[in-house]
């Protein structure tokens, strides 16, 4: 069932080396669909994973919020699961080793599985053993045959990226130790709907999950969702603890959250239609604000050369006629140009050096961290525009 079309959109992380106006960018349809039968929300167009992830510009360690979030979780699980030198923690899509580093420092064996060769190399240089491959059924079986069975298996912000969801879950079941547990974090579809977080929709994110959809998927593969909790990271996420069937007692929170989803209509069309209708209004309000500021002669920059930013700017039709430049903490992105809008990317220090009147916060999910980092810019009179979940100027 078609829900929302965001139109032809460039790949969210396909940064450009220059802003040559004659360069053609590859664009793909970005259309959201909903399955009433299984409650899964997903985009229709599947871009080959090799195109999206073999070379990747996002480094999780550049976000203090993400590093702190990962370290807190690793400490908690190390204690709860009584992990030690004989234990093994495996992470799929381990990026630059930001999460596994916390386990290694606690004396726990770790192994990353990361398809992006450039990012895997960063983790390996930091002493995090990393297999440069996509995780799926074949990888899970191969690791199990080597005797590498996970006491804790992490899958953070990766399940949404997987075109073969059943293959990934099969591999996860294969690699789990008999008493092991998988910890999965995914952006939660209810938070997407409530916050009108349409900028979370891009080609890397194939699926948008509810507990209802995930529980059905896990059950098909002999796994049990033992616990679930909502966590605030990334604008609202769902964290699941998944165990081999017969090894775990299901938390009361599972039944409560499933009932809550049924109550708001997880399997019905209406909530998704209402979300789609709000997207147009959000874009209109943002454009009106930016146009008014520009008509007053105000200068506007942006913070965050992010995947979210690509979707928001493309969907709302915002480009160089409105924004002067974008800043980002990642050295990999600095000196390049954003997809579609072709804005030059500078280090964050450019805000204080140049002092634009306003800065559109494209990475609004890290607002608290960024506002604290940019205290000097704000002290000098610079103001931030937070577009989602509610348009706000701070």
Q: Are 240 and 225 in contact (CB under 8 A)?
A: yes
pLDDT at residue 169 tops 70 = yes
DSSP element (H, E) containing 230? strand 223-231
Helix axes 165-175, 211-220, angle to 10 degrees: 60
pLDDT at residue 31 tops 80 = yes
Q: What is the mean pLDDT of the chain?
A: 94
Q: In 3D, which of 138, 58, 141, 148 has the Cα closest to residue 94? A: 58
Q: Are 2 and 33 in contact (CB under 8 A)?
A: yes
Phi, psi of 52 (to 5 degrees): -85, -35
Domains of the chain: 41-264 (3.40.50.150), 283-393 (3.40.50.720)
Per-residue pLDDT tens digits for 247-273: 666 889 999 999 999 999 999 999 999
Per-residue pLDDT tens digits for 298-308: 999 999 999 99
Average confidence (pLDDT) over 360-374: 95
Q: Are 210 and 261 in contact (CB under 8 A)?
A: yes
Output the pLDDT for position 288. 98
pLDDT at residue 89 tops 90 = yes
If DSSP codes are grouped into helix, strand and coil, which group holds residue 78?
helix
Q: Distance between CA atoms of 202 and 259, rounded to whole angstroms?
A: 29
Average confidence (pLDDT) over 278-295: 97
- Greater confidence, 332 or 20? 332
Output the pLDDT for position 21. 72
Output the pLDDT for position 63. 85
Sheet holding 237-244, edge to edge: 130-131, 109-113, 88-92, 150-156, 176-187, 237-244, 223-231
Output the pLDDT for position 59. 76
Q: In 3D, which of 305, 349, 298, 341 has the Cα closest to residue 326? A: 305
Q: Are 100 and 60 in contact (CB under 8 A)?
A: no
| pLDDT > 70 in the chain, percent | 98
Per-residue pLDDT tens digits for 130-147: 999 999 999 999 999 999
**Residues 6 or more apart whose Cβ sits within 8 Å of residue 288:** none
Output the pLDDT for position 318. 97
Output the pLDDT for position 56. 67
- pLDDT confidence of 48, banded at 50, 70, 90? confident
Dihedral of CA atoms 41, 46, 51, 52 in degrees, nearest 10, equals -10
Q: Distance between CA atoms of 101 and 161, rounded to whole angstroms?
A: 23
Output the pLDDT for position 248. 67
Average confidence (pLDDT) over 348-358: 98
DSSP element (H, E) containing 62? none
pLDDT at residue 160 tops 80 = yes
Residue 107: exposure state from Cβ atoms within 10 A (0-12, 13-18, ≥19): exposed
Output the pLDDT for position 51. 84
């Amino acid at each position: 069932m078609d829900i929302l079309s965001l139109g032809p959109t460039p790949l969210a992380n396909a940064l450009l080396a220059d802003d040559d106006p004659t360069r053609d960018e590859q664009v793909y349809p970005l259309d959201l669909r909903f399955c009433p039968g299984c409650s899964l929300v997903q985009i229709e167009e599947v871009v080959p994973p090799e195109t999206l992830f073999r070379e990747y510009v996002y480094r999780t360690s550049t976000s203090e919020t993400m590093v702190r979030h990962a370290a807190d979780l690793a400490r908690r699980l190390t204690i709860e699961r009584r992990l030690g030198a004989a234990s093994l923690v495996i992470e799929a899509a381990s990026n630059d080793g930001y999460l596994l580093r916390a386990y290694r420092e606690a004396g726990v064996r770790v192994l990353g599985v990361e398809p992006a060769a450039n990012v895997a190399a960063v983790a390996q240089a930091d002493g995090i053993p990393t297999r440069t491959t996509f995780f799926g059924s074949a990888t899970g079986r191969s690791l199990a045959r080597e005797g590498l069975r996970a006491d804790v298996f992490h899958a953070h912000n990766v399940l949404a990226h997987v075109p073969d969801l059943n293959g990934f879950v099969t591999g996860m079941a294969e690699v789990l130790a008999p008493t092991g547990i998988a910890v999965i974090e995914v952006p939660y579809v209810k938070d997407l709907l409530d916050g009108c977080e349409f900028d979370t929709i891009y080609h890397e994110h194939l699926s948008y999950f509810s507990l209802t959809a995930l529980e059905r998927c896990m059950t098909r593969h002999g796994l049990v969702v033992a616990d679930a909790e909502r966590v605030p990271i990334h604008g609202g996420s769902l964290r699941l603890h998944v165990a081999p069937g017969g090894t775990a007692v299901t938390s009361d929170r599972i039944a409560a959250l499933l009932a809550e989803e049924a109550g708001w209509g997880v399997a019905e069309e209406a909530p998704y239609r209402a979300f789609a209708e709000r997207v147009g209004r959000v874009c209109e309000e943002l454009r009106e604000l930016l146009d008014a500021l520009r008509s007053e002669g105000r200068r506007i920059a942006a913070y965050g050369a992010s995947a979210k930013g690509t979707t928001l700017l493309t969907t709302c039709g915002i480009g160089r006629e409105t924004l002067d430049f974008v800043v980002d903490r990642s050295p990999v992105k600095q000196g390049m140009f954003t997809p579609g809008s072709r804005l030059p990317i500078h280090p964050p220090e450019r805000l204080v050096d140049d002092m634009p009147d306003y800065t559109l916060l494209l990475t609004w999910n890290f607002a608290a961290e960024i506002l604290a980092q940019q205290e000097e810019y704000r002290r000098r009179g610079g103001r931030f525009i937070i577009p989602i979940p509610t348009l706000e100027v701070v």
